[in-house]
Amino acid sequence: MQTLSLLYVATAAFFVFGVAAAAKEPGEIPTPASMIYTIDVPYADTDNPRQALDLLIPKDSGNEPLPVIVYIHGGAWNHGERKWPLYRMVEYVATGDYAAVMVGYRLSGEAQWPAQIHDCKAAIRWLRANAKRLGLDADRIGVMGDSAGGHLVAMLGTSGDVSDMDGELGSDTDVSSRVSCVVDYYGPADFLHLYKTAPEGTGTDQNVPYPTVASLLGAPIGDAPEKAASASPVTYVTAGDPPFLILHGTADSVVPFSQSEVLHTALRNADAPSTLITVEGGRHGWGPGTGTDELSLGFFDHHLRGKTRKWEDQTLQAR
């Protein structure tokens, strides 16, 4: 385990489901001296480098425990690094209002579903079990992810009360893996209908088994419908789910926009709080500049810091 306080050389990219849309160039990401950056923390009692997390905590956070934003990276479940969202987490922690955690998980080339959600839940349990020692608030944990990471945070949100999804990793199995709120950027939500409602011309083809999903499940969706259902966040939606903020572009050719519509409708029908932000003309990983970053932070402020505001579905224009 290492602690850094000034600079960390990392790939500063908002990498996504299968492509590197809106990526920044690799380079040095400044971690201000006002923050403590601790990397490679094992959360599952293993030495597997994928089963580790990084922490970013303000040095001067006062006497009150800090709420936590947990980011889970994208990358089609077959590649990606937990350090990818570091540039965004630095911005959140710089407010002095949050600590940030970036979670790694086993990729599909190493382990198939449900290993990925078992890893994410083990990370949440570790974080909650160690929150007091770290000066964090175990009751205020929000999660955020893009694409494949969006899928995993949606799973954390909808399956918080499903013991079969918990797994048995780590020494904190008696600790809850529930989260307080979810920010889901264009994550798949219903594998059984992944391409059935894709708009014409988006480049998706429901008749071709998507290789990254097949790798995750261990078989094409059509050959493993039960496993596809078990990996779908919509399967577990109930009224007790935490608030969701779902953001998706209408021109997404990787994950159809309809996936977020399906999840949003399921949550609303179950009387679970959900807000859908439609990015008109937005492709997969549209990048900054649309106002979605400000909405995401406002959502966390509302649900983790009590800065209440009214939340309604809205449409933004892609830039």
Interior angle at CA 192, CA 190 and CA 195, nearest 5: 85
User: What's the average model confidence in pLDDT over 299-318?
Assistant: 96
Q: Indicate the range of 60-74, 127-141, 269-283 predicted with least confidence.
A: 60-74
Domain with 120 in it = 2-317
Report pTM: 0.88
Considering the chain, what percentage of its residues have pLDDT values greater than 70?
84
Instruction: Identify the residue with better confidence: 173 or 19.
Output: 173
**Tens of pLDDT, residues 49-100:** 999 999 999 988 778 999 999 999 999 999 999 999 998 999 999 999 999 9
Q: Domain holding 210: CATH number?
A: 3.40.50.1820
Mean pLDDT in residue range 24-42: 71
pLDDT at 133 over 80: yes
Q: What is the DSSP letter of 277?
A: E
Q: Which two tokens mark 116?
A: 């990925």
Whole-number pLDDT of residue 156 = 98
Q: Which of 60-64, 84-88, 113-117, 285-289 has the highest mean pLDDT?
A: 113-117
- Find out whether 278 and 165 touch, Cβ atoms under 8 Å: no
Strand, coil or helix: 11 = coil
Angle at 69 between CA 63 and CA 70, to 5 degrees: 130
Average pLDDT, the chain: 87
Number of domains in the chain: 1
Q: Indicate if the pLDDT at residue 24 is higher than 50.
A: no
Residue 34 confidence (pLDDT): 85
> Number of C-alpha atoms within 13 angstroms, CB side, residue 118?
15
Residue 310 has pLDDT above 60, yes or no: yes
Say if residues 55 and 101 touch (Cβ distance below 8 Å): yes
Confidence check: pLDDT of 194 > 90:
no
- pLDDT surpassing 70 at residue 209: no
Confidence of residue 285 (pLDDT cuts 50, 70, 90): confident
Give the span between the Cα atoms of 69 and 87, in whole angstroms: 14
